Amino acid sequence: MSLGAKVAANLPYLRRYARALTGSQATGDAFVRATLEAALADEALRSQIGEGRVALYRAFNAVWSSAFVDTNDYSGSANAGLHEAAAQERLSQITPLNRQALLLTTLEDFSIFEAAAIMDRSEDEVEDLVQEAIEEIDRESATSVLIIEDEPLISMQLEDLVRSLGHDVCGMAATRTQAREIVAQETPGLVLADIQLADGSSGLDAVDDILKITDVPVIFITAYPERLLTGDRPEPTYLITKPFQESTVRAAISQALFFGSSRPLI
């Protein structure tokens, strides 16, 4: 495969990252263009970006870091979707270096090791930057949470976890009917839901009821993930298997609130 073909295969993802990082499609594309122009003028850099996606992003990072100018335009283009607008709004509140680490490990799905190579930092530094970014998001994204869970101990565990992140709990439901009653009184900003409830009702149906009213992020926490991963219906973005690690739930909550919806990021 030619160098041009290798770069072209990764270019849409790099443009997406650059747009999210800078908050502007025009600014992001300008940095991508500057990276490619630098590679054309430097044989060593040109050879480097052909080594793969990590190397291409590393080259971009060198250009961005040396000439970065922040922008206040986080509205995105006229064609920006719900996720992009929500993400950019929250990204505007995060310092640039933390923003970069978070985007590389979430939006771009690089490992901590790969992100460290791209940013030319240690893995510990990248982990710290990601954690700081999540904490900044959590401070700016406090919301009310509905917990749909029929096991009292797990329900209380989730309540404690949610409150420790600075969020309120607007209600705790053990059945679909209880969930409907709570939402009739207050619209939650996030839903944590099991799929098998106390009276035999379904958490899936309870969530469907809620999504007819509002486009709220939903995290499913269940001992039966196979019931959601059938391919017969749209599969959830956020799915945690019981028994769960609290750190996993914390990360899912931060990411769900960051993107502002449960639908996959395109």
Instruction: Note the pLDDT tens digit of each residue in 114-130.
Output: 999 999 999 999 999 98
Question: What pLDDT shows up at residue 113?
Answer: 96
Angle at 196 between CA 246 and CA 225, to 5 degrees: 60
All CATH 1.20.140.160 domain ranges of the chain, comma separated, are 3-139
Model confidence band, residue 238 (pLDDT cutoffs 50, 70, 90): confident
Question: What pLDDT shows up at residue 210?
Answer: 92
* CATH code of the domain made up of 3-139: 1.20.140.160
More confident residue, 212 or 21: 212
Choose the CATH number for 141-259 among 2.60.40.1180, 3.30.70.380, 3.40.50.2300, 3.40.50.300: 3.40.50.2300
In sequence order, the 6+-apart residues with CB closer than 8 A to the CB of 157 are: 246
User: Among 29-43, 80-94, 205-219, 250-264, whose mean pLDDT is lowest?
Assistant: 80-94
pTM of the predicted model as reported, rounded to 2 decimal places: 0.55
Question: What pLDDT shows up at residue 85?
Answer: 56
| β-bridge mates for residue 202, sequence order | 196
Question: What pLDDT shows up at residue 47?
Answer: 79
All CATH 3.40.50.2300 domain ranges of the chain, comma separated, are 141-259
